[in-house]
Structure 1
Amino acid sequence: MAPTKPHGPASYFPSIEAKYGRSVDDWFALMDGAGITGQKDLVNWLKTEHEMGHGHATALAQFHLNPGKWQR
């Protein structure tokens, strides 16, 4: 059986890695280091500090704050 395609935020991961040149694990480590716990604040931080688009920032923040909710 073929592996299932990622759903939810993880479906953005390949394009995030390609566009911004970092692995999602690198982004998660950066978010850990930022010490920001709220989704809105985390999204704004990714957008302002790393010039990330809103959709990509939201996908990373959602997955980072709720890692058990979606498959990678």
Structure 2
Amino acid sequence: MTDDKIKGPASYFPAIEKKYGRSIADWQALVRARAPARHMELVAMLKTEHGMGHGHANAIVAQTLAEEKGG
């Protein structure tokens, strides 16, 4: 039996899409448009400009930055 449960930042993605009505690709495009910037600056942007909660903002930024680094 395999464990197909999503782990890490991506585990938040279905809830983020449902709550904020935008795709993860849209959110990641916003983060990438602000690069280069520090992780917490990007989190703050999502929170203040888009009303996102800290955990959701952090998940999007963490995943986006990891993808940019090839991870």
> Which of the five TM-score ranges fits, normalised by the shorter chain?
0.7 to 0.9
Matching residue of 1:21: 21
Provide, for residues 17-70 of structure 1, a one-character-per-residue CA deviation record: whole Å limited to 9, x for no partner. Answer: 00000000010111111234211100000000000000000100110111254x
Gaps of 5+ in 2: none
For structure 1, the 5+ residue unaligned runs are none
**Structure with higher helix content:** 2
TM-score when normalising by structure 2:
0.85
Q: How many residues align?
A: 69
Q: TM-score scaled by structure 1?
A: 0.84
Conserved? CA contact 1:13–1:24, under 8 Å: yes
Shift of 1:6: 1.2
Structure 1 runs (4+) greater than 6 angstroms displaced: none
Alignment RMSD: 1.7
1:33 maps onto 2:40 in alignment: no
